[in-house]
Structure 1
Amino acid sequence: MSAHADSILAHLRTVDAERRRRSGQPDMTARVQALKTYQQKRFSHSYADLLKTARYGPAARFFLDELYGPHDFSERDAQFARVVPALVRLFPHEIVATVNTLAELHALSEVLDSIAAGHLPDAHVDAARYVSAWQATGRADDREKQIALTLGVGESLDRLTRNPLLRHTLRMMRGPAKAAGLGALQSFLEIGFDTFKAMRGAGDFLATIATRERALARALFESSLQGDGRLGDTALGQLP
């Protein structure tokens, strides 16, 4: 099996382990779900301006639904793990590398969500609790890595759009991918490819994501919480 296949499977095992660990803890699944839902709401709030534009709206919506959503991907991931060898065999190297980055992001996000949710008292999440939970993780470096991987997925999709042959290859892969159980991944890649191609260059879009996410990360870890639970002086205007 290739190095990429081993890496993808390792990341998927991390995701599965996190889900299993949560299932053994009362209310943990509900707290993680509440955290994910709040994070999706936060992304909508942070990028309301991009979501309204014709050029960047579809890409922002793609990030919102595919990378920040609270969806349950457990069944999809289980199916995906079974067909990783077929993925590596059927898809071009550039696409497999993108999927590997996506899998690494998926695994890291699940780990960080579990840790942060473990510091929530219950399944209610607001700005103050979100800040407190993130600070309690003490994982600022991992949050930066999470941002870098998110940008990496976007940069890979943007780079793929500059290769017309890859888009043609993706179209030709629809039948084999569906037969191999890779229909959901095929759909993700095609939507991502077409969404980023329609932007006619994702540089400004990704630069905006990078600036805002890193500014928020600094604010999350630097903000002070007053005794009454209100946010301190650090500006956290990106939080709903």
Structure 2
Amino acid sequence: MSQNTSAADLIRTHLARVDQLRRQAHTEGWQSAVDEVKLLQAHRFRATYSDFLQHPRYAPATRFFLDELYGVHDFVQRDAQFSRIAGALERLFPEAVAQLAVDLAETHALTEVLDQKLATHWQTLDPGLPAATRYILSWRLTNSRESRERQLTVIQHMGLELQRLTRMKSLRLGLRMMRNPARVAGLDVLQHFLESGFDAFSSLGDARPFLNAINERESRWVQAFFEQPMDACSEALTRELTSSN
């Protein structure tokens, strides 16, 4: 975190970027393309991590990532609550918690930026193309490998911090005690999000095997989407999407 930029400012900057992209998608008429891209990606994620979703130890953390970070949901309410308490978060919690919040906001913003870029290309391509081919072409047209790698780096850092913080019993207890005040203050959606993250990682134990698997699997897909011959890549993605149905 920059010494000259507070956690609250970083959080608000990331969330303002997400809000701007949402408005742009609606104004320019490509929100449906964004939704199609997100739905395809959600199917791919569920196929790639189907083993984790069925594993008692890994399932909660996997669902947290797939539902709360990459889900096909409307996060407007949560983002508004998150932005509203950004300053209080920095004042009331340890620096590590504030940095975790920055990681969450950056992951969210990176995901939205990349999804929106994909959607702008997706909507210009022939809808008669196989979905996998259309997606890979869109991916390559975004030329965003550095951002994809940054996304994985932030996820790794965020996961390790979540694991560390869940071991601090005072923080977990404090979060539970915030349920009623959060509901009264209209922060119930954000409260659910934070508790989901803590619950998922508190049951995970050592998070490194889980995070290493995410990094390895996603890096393999990133490389395939950018470098693998189109036919082979399209066939592999089609198989993955089919296995999630």
Do Structure 1 and Structure 2 share a fold, with TM-score over 0.5?
yes
Q: What is the one-letter code of the residue matched to 1:194?
A: D
TM-score (normalizing by structure 2): 0.87
Displacement after TM superposition at 1:235 (Å):
5.5
Displacement after TM superposition at 1:98 (Å):
0.9
Higher RCO structure (Cα 8 Å, ≥6 apart)? 2
Q: What are the residue-to-residue correspondences of 1:91-110 with 2, within 5 Å? A: 91-110=93-112
Q: What residue number does 2:62 align with?
A: 60
Q: What residue number does 1:25 align with?
A: 28
Separation (CA, whole Å) in 1 of partners of 2:175 and 2:47: 33
Q: Given the alignment of the two structures, is residue 203 of structure 1 paired with residue 205 of structure 2, yes or no?
A: no
Unaligned runs of 5+ in 2: none
Q: What is the one-letter code of the residue matched to 2:6?
A: A
2:132, 2:238 within 8 Å by CA — same for their partners in 1? Answer: no
Separation (CA, whole Å) in 2 of partners of 1:66 and 1:213: 18
Stretch moving more, 1-10 or 154-163: 1-10
Unaligned runs of 5+ in 1: none
Separation (CA, whole Å) in 2 of partners of 1:194 and 1:70: 21
- 1:209-236: CA deviation from partner (whole Å, max 9, x where unpaired): 11001111111111232xxxx4459965
Displacement after TM superposition at 1:58 (Å):
1.5
SS at match of 2:28: coil
- 1:54-106: CA deviation from partner (whole Å, max 9, x where unpaired): 11112111111011111011233223323322333333332221111100111
Aligned residue pairs: how many?
235
Displacement after TM superposition at 1:121 (Å):
3.2
Separation (CA, whole Å) in 2 of partners of 1:190 and 1:79: 15
TM-score (normalizing by structure 1): 0.89
Q: What residue number does 1:77 align with?
A: 79
Q: What is the one-letter code of the residue matched to 2:63?
A: R
Q: What are the residue-to-residue correspondences of 1:1-150 with 2, within 5 Å? A: 3-26=6-29, 28-121=30-123, 126-150=131-155
- Aligned-residue sequence identity (percent) comes to 44
Stretch moving more, 73-82 or 149-158: 73-82
Q: What residue number does 1:192 align with?
A: 197
Stretch moving more, 201-210 or 123-132: 123-132
Aligned Cα RMSD in Å? 2.4
Q: What is the one-letter code of the residue matched to 1:133?
A: S
Stretch moving more, 44-53 or 120-129: 120-129
